Amino acid sequence: MNELFVQTTHDKVAHDFIEFAKCNRYGLEITSFALPWILDGNWKTLLRSYRLALKDFDNEVSVHGVFMDMITVSRDDKILYVVREHILNDIHIAEQPGAKIVTFCSCFNPSIAMSAPGYVEGYKQRQIKFWAQILDSIANSQITLVFENLWDPKPELVKDIVEGVNHEKFRALLDTGHVNIYSKVPIERWVETLADCLAYVHLNDNHQDSDSNLALCDGNINWNNFLMH
């Protein structure tokens, strides 16, 4: 897949985004089901509304999966149970409008990493185990899961997990805005490091003060360096 997607910003059916994407022949990334309170609520009605709104939409669709409070490396089995149920539900939801990609964020905690020497290696191993089990659970699905950097300070954290899972349906997602805020590693090195496992990119800008999702060149990301790689 090599297509430009428009990401919605609503927790309701984003009719304006759908129309914009349709007119410009863009794909659509649905974010409504990224919110845990939606998944705990009347998500079936929302899904039916999306299916109706997308009935004449011929371009690609992707879904941003749940991310708030989703600690996929938790040592608490009860927390993992809830996280796993939400993630599997999002994958099921994504299949209904024919989405081929579902995004899930990493949950790396740099504050813990600074004070606990064993955290990084444990984090990687638990992530690999968690996503390998998820992929086993959806063995017959055509969905590709993409693993998005969030608070990760360096690209090797994402790469090591994707390579550790070692599955054709588990790839990396690079969010340029997150890199600009949370990493001191130049964005071009992120591109170089993740190149072989990269399947999806969130293109957005900021001023390194908040995850403001600005348009390209409205922040201070060096886009020349990014585009040259």
- Specify if 100 maps to a domain: yes
User: CA–CA separation, 191 vs 52, rounded Å?
Assistant: 37
Amino acid at 60: E
The model's confidence at residue 207, banded by pLDDT at 50, 70 and 90, is very high
User: CA–CA separation, 131 vs 179, rounded Å?
Assistant: 23
pLDDT, tens only, 97-144: 999 999 999 999 999 999 999 999 999 999 999 999 999 999 999 999
- Which one-letter DSSP state was computed for residue 118? T
Question: Could you tell me the pTM of the whole model?
Answer: 0.95
User: CA–CA separation, 6 vs 30, rounded Å?
Assistant: 9
pLDDT, tens only, 151-197: 999 999 999 999 999 999 999 999 999 999 999 999 999 999 999 99
- Specify if 206 maps to a domain: no
The model's confidence at residue 2, banded by pLDDT at 50, 70 and 90, is low
Average confidence (pLDDT) over 67-88: 97
Residue 63 buriedness (CB in 10 A; 0-12 / 13-18 / 19+): buried
Q: Which residues contact 26 (CB under 8 A, 6 or more apart)?
A: 3, 4, 5, 6, 20, 59
User: CA–CA separation, 218 vs 206, rounded Å?
Assistant: 7
- Specify if 165 maps to a domain: yes
Expressed as residue numbers, the domain containing 25 is: 5-175
- Specify if 116 maps to a domain: yes
Phi, psi (deg, nearest 5) at residue 105: -85, 150
Alpha helices, DSSP H only, in the chain?
15-24, 36-39, 43-53, 77-95, 110-115, 119-137, 156-165, 176-182, 187-194, 223-227
Mean pLDDT of the chain: 95
Q: How many helices (H) and strands (E) does the chain have?
A: 10, 7
Exposure of 8 in the CB half-sphere (CA atoms within 13 A): 26
Residue 71's CATH number: 3.20.20.150
Other C-beta atoms closer than 10 Å to the C-beta of 205 total: 18
User: CA–CA separation, 173 vs 160, rounded Å?
Assistant: 13
Whether pLDDT at 1 is above 60? no
User: CA–CA separation, 115 vs 223, rounded Å?
Assistant: 34
- Specify if 208 maps to a domain: no
- Specify if 207 maps to a domain: no
Domain count along the chain:
1
User: CA–CA separation, 58 vs 45, rounded Å?
Assistant: 22
Q: Which helix (H) or strand (E) holds 145?
A: strand 144-148
pLDDT, tens only, 6-32: 999 877 899 999 999 999 999 999 999
Whether pLDDT at 77 is above 70? yes
- Specify if 39 maps to a domain: yes
- Specify if 169 maps to a domain: yes
